[in-house]
Amino acid sequence: MGEPDDKISGFYDDDGTKSDPNLMEKPSLCTTCKKDDEKREELLCTLNRMDQQGEDEFRCYAYVSKYDDSTNENNESTNEDEGIRF
């Protein structure tokens, strides 16, 4: 066996258990979001999904539909304060 890894990296939940976000099911809401394909949003989206893992309802206040034409020039939803529930 190799030497123990002294570096702390990755994702950990509140009790210190390491979590692999690749093993988590992605909510279907995420697959219809413009930000799902943006690398710069990946970390924030992952943290949001991990925070809500096991909840009955998934909420995302950064959601922007890939199919919605009512977005402004900055790719922000015109109803951003309302959030999206799924």
Q: What is the pTM of this model?
A: 0.68
Question: How high is the pLDDT of residue 1?
Answer: 52
Mean pLDDT of 13-26: 90
Does pLDDT of 73 surpass 50?
no
Query: Would the pLDDT of 74 be above 80?
Result: no
Spatial CA neighbour of 27 closest among 55, 6, 66: 55
* Burial class of residue 46 in the structure, from the number of CB atoms within 10 Å of its CB (0-12 exposed, 13-18 middle, 19+ buried): middle
Per residue in 46-65, pLDDT (tens digit) is: 999 999 988 999 999 999 99
Please determine, for residue 19, whether its predicted confidence score (pLDDT) is greater than 70: yes
In one-letter notation, the amino acid at residue 35 is K
